[in-house]
Amino acid sequence: MSTPDFNLLITLDAVLTEGSVARAAQRLRLSPSAMSRALARLRETTGDPLLVRAGRGLVPTPRALELRERVSQLVQDAEGVLRPVEQLNLKQLVRTFTLRVREGFVENFGPDLIARVSEAAPGVQLCFVQKPNKESTPLRDGTIDLDTGVIGKTTGPEIIARSLFRDRFIGVVRMGHPLSQGEITPSRYAGGKHISISRRGLDKGSIDEALQPLGLAREIITIVGSFSAALALARATDLIATVPERQTGNLRAGMHSFPLPVSIAAFTISLLWHPRMDADPAHRWLRGMVLDACAAGVPEFTTG
């Protein structure tokens, strides 16, 4: 079966509404001959003359009268589908957005983000899920709406990214720890007992690479998979945690933080989403909310 020419619906709507081939031609900006050919195709497709002569004018057939309202509604619906989305009504928006984040994001930026979203769109619910890896599959399959993190080799090439903030690693110890007093030199830092943070269970990383040219190495006492776990251990022991500064601000309350005595490059935390959601008005609005909350909740780097 051949695919029907849906453009004929627009022609049929014009003919049935105007009741005149000439007026329908003017409405569609067609020549009279082109309109006559279109009417001939409509008659062939529907198997009905649609309009027949009655004196000097044309009158619709019963089939045409039956189709008139249906065709008009179909054309209106099609125009609505193709028309740009009207302005978003946030007060009436009911939707759940899923955001994938690492620990520390909700604690630091969640309260302000939730307050902003709730005030603007009371029907919107935010669902935060943990980030076990950097794979882009959840964005592709729609499991999550937004992702946060450092762009890496596993980030899909089609993924859209927007910078949220810059971050850097700092050292953290309990109050009263020897490193909470005096100058932090590379040897003092390396000479302590450390916590390694790795989702893959690794005990070496960029910090160890920076210490190696100085002839120094950390003593790793334990390996954990999260910043919050490392900080909980450091709070209760003499272990040293090395964590991102801006993502762990609230988690470090009541602890002593210090800049690392070795050069470790700062990094950018980005907001990530799939291109298919880029033009969605509600998704675009939420992205703006996240950007604003992160900008408001991120102070400048501390110096001690």
Report, as an integer, the average pLDDT of 82-95. 82
User: Which regions of the chain does DSSP assign to beta strands (E)?
Assistant: 51-54, 57-60, 95-101, 124-130, 146-149, 160-167, 169-174, 193-197, 219-224, 241-244, 255-259, 267-273
Determine the pLDDT at residue 32. Answer: 85
Q: Are strands 124-130 and 57-60 parallel, antiparallel or unpaired?
A: unpaired
Report, as an integer, the average pLDDT of 116-143. 91
What is the rounded CA–CA span in Å between residue 89 and residue 6?
32
**Of 246, 252, 247, whose CA–CA distance to 233 is shortest?**
252
Instruction: Work out the percent of the chain whose per-residue pLDDT is above 90.
Output: 54
- Which residues are 174's β-sheet partners? 255
**Of 85, 76, 72, 117, whose CA–CA distance to 99 is shortest?**
117
Q: pLDDT tens digits, residue range 26-79?
A: 888 888 888 888 888 888 888 888 888 887 777 888 888 888 888 888 888 777
pLDDT > 90? residue 193: yes
- Which residues are 243's β-sheet partners? 170
pLDDT > 90? residue 191: yes
Determine the pLDDT at residue 119. Answer: 96
State pTM to two decimals: 0.70
CATH of the domain spanning 90-158+274-296: 3.40.190.10
Please, where in the chain does CATH 1.10.10.10 lie?
Answer: 7-82
Q: pLDDT tens digits, residue range 223-273?
A: 998 899 999 999 999 999 999 999 999 899 999 999 999 999 999 999 999
In degrees and rounded to multiples of 5, residue 221 shows phi and psi of: -90, -35
Please, where in the chain does CATH 3.40.190.10 lie?
Answer: 90-158+274-296, 169-259
CATH fit for domain 7-82, picks 1.10.3470.10, 1.10.10.10, 1.25.40.10, 3.40.50.300: 1.10.10.10
Second-level CATH architecture of 169-259? 3-Layer(aba) Sandwich (3.40)
What is the rounded CA–CA span in Å between residue 20 and residue 227?
75
